[in-house]
Structure 1
Amino acid sequence: MTPDILSPDIAALLVTSFAIGIVIGLTGMGGGALMTPALIFLGVPPTSAVANDLVAAAVNKSTGAAVHWREGSPHRGIATWLIAGSLPTAFAGAFIVQAAGEGEERDAFLKVAIGITLLIAACTYALRLYVEMRRKALGQTVVSAEPTVRPLPTLLVGAFGGLLVGITSVGSGSVIMVVLLVLYPALAGVRLVGTDLVQAVPLVTAAAISHVIVTGIDPAVLIPLVVGGTPGTFLGARLANRVSQSIVRRGIVLVLFLTGLSMLKVPPWGVALAAAVGLVVAPLVWRMLRTRLAVSAEGRKDRPLDGDPGA
């Protein structure tokens, strides 16, 4: 990217990174799913957007991971298998993008890859919201602080997540977290977050290194990402207890889905129609699910819950 393209947009980059930082602080969701498409919409070429976002993410995630590591919350066994699976595929990401062609051909490939990954992230994040709502409605609690590690599935999850992140920078927080929630339902929430953050640092770092080798970094993009994102994340964390998490998270699902459609070159009228359907239908479906779960919970009051030792 040439400096004359970015110079007028420094303020826009700062504001965008600050706003997305607030969302990250509020929800704990990885920034790649939001930041990379935002950079592309601001005029940053896809290859540069992915490379610079990965470098910024490697810096930001290291801080959170260090805190969780000191407090002992990560499950080191699960994190180890995730890292073993993700490192090679994450590092290969930039070279896969490079092999897709040159110039516009490479950018087109990357936009399609990002669009598909965003749709996957939207679906998995919606699944996470449902699983969490179901557990809360049914009163299910963690029954084991040390779940049995499942090496092969965990390794495959790491490999798949590493591939997504290595190519698109999306997936370290939005996709892997959800699969861990399904694989290890007995893992406490704080340990789930800590495990995801710890495994994400080497994953994102490996992906960032390969993209720096292939594409390089642009300080005019990278610096605003770090300068704007850090205080935004801090502010979001401070506001987390004052803002409805449910509304924000459901809003993120819709944004990811619509952004994914835009990346796949769905016509504007198609995106607008999807937005209208999402705004009208999604709340009705969500309310129906909550009602059904409430009825199910009422009927299970006198029976052991799934996972209960007495079941």
Structure 2
Amino acid sequence: MEVGTWGFTVAGLVVGFIVGMTGVGGGSLMTPILLWFGINPATAVGTDLLYAAITKASGVWVHGRNKNIDWKITGWLALGSVPAAAIVLLYLKSLNAEPQAMGAVIKQALAAVLFLTAMAILFKKRLQALASRHAGDRYNLSPRTLNGLTVVTGVVLGVMVSLTSIGAGALGTVALFMLYPFLATRRLVGTEIAHAVPLTLVAGMGHASMGNMDWSLLGHLLLGSLPGIYLGSHLSGRVSDDVLRPLLAVMLLLIGYKLAF
């Protein structure tokens, strides 16, 4: 679909507004929107990855100042996610000479991750309640096992994010809560954001090295998203979370279905 540069700025504004209100939905909405606009799948993913790295970097600064980041957990996650991202990028590089094959892989992976993200958003409260209820029994893992599971979680997130630019937000937050049910919510969110920045930056630069980047598009998305996030953040809480989350989940399910079929 042909669209003027204003269309991308409006898209950034809308996505930024939703992220500001709900805290999720960045990559899971932005990448499908870019595909709808006719952007090549690989370019959409690469551009969205750097878009995410830039927009979340300010969040790291704020959360870091407020001591809302557990740097140890961030390190264990990155130990799994960054090497996994590098391996995925090498795989995509092998498909670089076949744009259609790369586009097909990215679209199918995108559909699968959108379905998972929708489920995570829809059942977030139930999963959190389950983790809290059993925090003292079967979740009583040894430090070594917990560190190992955190690295494995990082690997899964690294693969998903590098292929689709989606997963670090909703899925990452739910996974961390399941592993660390006693971690305060503000530190959980801060830790997830701190991990997302290096992951999306590495994956984004990897895609950029393959030519999967549109710098002009990135600028127009940021032009809309920064005020959008500001406005959405100020309206956060005025619309019930019980209304927003199901609507967002249904939207992601419909997008995922359209991509898969």
Q: Same fold (TM over 0.5)?
A: yes
Indicate if the aligned counterparts of 1:48 and 1:217 stay in contact, CA closer than 8 A: yes
Aligned pairs (5 A) from 1:154-173: 154-173=150-169
Distance of aligned partners of 1:192 and 1:24 in 2 relative to their CA distance in 1, 3 Å threshold: same
Aligned to 2:101: 105
Counterpart secondary structure, 2:77: helix
Per-residue deviation, residues 241-293 of structure 1 (Å, max 9, x unmatched):
2121221111111111111111112xxxxxxxxxxxxxxxxxxxxxxxxxxxx
SS of aligned partner of 1:112? helix
Look up the match of 2:59.
64
CA RMSD in angstroms, aligned pairs only: 2.1
TM-score normalised by length of structure 1: 0.76
Asked if 1 retains the 8 angstrom alpha-carbon contact of 2:77 and 2:151, the reply is: yes
CA distance in 1, matches of 2:213, 2:106: 17
Contact 1:92-1:207 at 8 Å conserved across structures? no
Bigger relative CO (Cα 8 Å, ≥ 6 apart)? 2
- Distance between the aligned counterparts of 1:129 and 1:40, measured in 2? 31
Q: Which residue of the partner structure matches residue 31 of structure 1?
A: 26
Alignment: residue pair count: 252
Equivalent of 1:78 in 62, 73, 76: 73
Give the deviation of 1:91 after TM superposition: 2.8
**Aligned partner letter, 1:239:** L
Mind listing any 5+ residue stretches in structure 2 that lack a counterpart?
none
Are 2:47 and 1:42 aligned?
no
Does the Cα contact within 8 Å between 2:15 and 2:25 map onto a contact in 1? no
Contact 2:81/2:158 (<8 A) preserved: yes
**Which of 78, 87, 91 is 2:86 aligned to?**
91
- Distance, in Å, in 2 between the alignment partners of 1:122 and 1:92 is 26
SS of the residue corresponding to residue 92 of structure 2 reads helix
1:80 Cα offset (Å): 1.1
Distance 2:69 2:58 in 1: 14
Distance 1:250 1:129 in 2: 12
Q: Which amino acid counterpart does residue 194 of structure 2 have in structure 1? A: V
Q: Greater Rg, structure 1 or structure 2? A: 1
Shift of 1:216: 4.1
One-letter amino acid matched to 1:102: E
The aligned amino acid for 1:55 is: L
Runs of at least 5 residues in structure 1 that lack an aligned partner in the other structure: 266-311
Task: Give SS of 1:235's match.
Answer: helix
Asked whether the 8 Å contact 1:92–1:210 carries over to 2, the reply is no
Q: SS where residue 170 of structure 1 aligns?
A: coil
Identity of aligned residues (%): 32
Letter in 1 for 2:121: Y
